[in-house]
């Protein structure tokens, strides 16, 4: 499980505004946390957020949520074109993976076991 701060920092690293062993400036922290809240609200609406808005994020969801948070911040930060393109290209994959993670495992109704 990961905290919101860990997801925020990962998104900041994806954006290239946070290096290793650095801390975010308060305005960047506020902006990216706001982006997380917006992304969580949309994921909740779509039935893809299986955690509470202030709770821990499941580890398997972290890279995908961080990508969506970074995508939300693209209009705020000036980043190189290759980084911008990479973040944009990963959005579809992130949504697809979150859909897979949010859906329950499929069980066949035809192959019922009689215990």
Q: Which pLDDT does position 111 carry in this prediction?
A: 66
Distances in Å between the alpha carbon of 24 and those of 2, 28, 52, 63, 90? 18, 6, 24, 19, 23
pLDDT digits (tens, 9 = 90+) for 36-88: 999 999 999 999 998 999 999 999 999 999 999 999 999 999 999 999 999 99
Cβ atoms 101, 61 nearer than 8 A: yes
End-to-end CA distance of the chain: 35
pTM: 0.88
Q: Which pLDDT does position 105 carry in this prediction?
A: 62
């Amino acid at each position: 499980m990961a905290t919101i701060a860990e997801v925020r920092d990962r998104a900041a690293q994806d954006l290239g505004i946070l290096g290793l062993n650095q801390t975010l400036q308060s305005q960047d922290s506020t902006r990216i946390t706001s982006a997380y809240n917006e992304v969580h609200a949309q994921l909740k609406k779509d039935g893809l957020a299986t955690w509470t808005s202030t709770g821990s994020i499941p580890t398997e969801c972290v890279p995908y949520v961080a990508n969506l948070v970074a995508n939300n911040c693209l209009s705020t930060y000036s980043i190189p074109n290759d980084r911008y393109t990479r973040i944009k290209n990963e959005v579809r994959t992130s949504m697809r993976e979150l859909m897979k993670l949010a859906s329950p495992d499929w069980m066949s109704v035809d192959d019922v076991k009689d215990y």
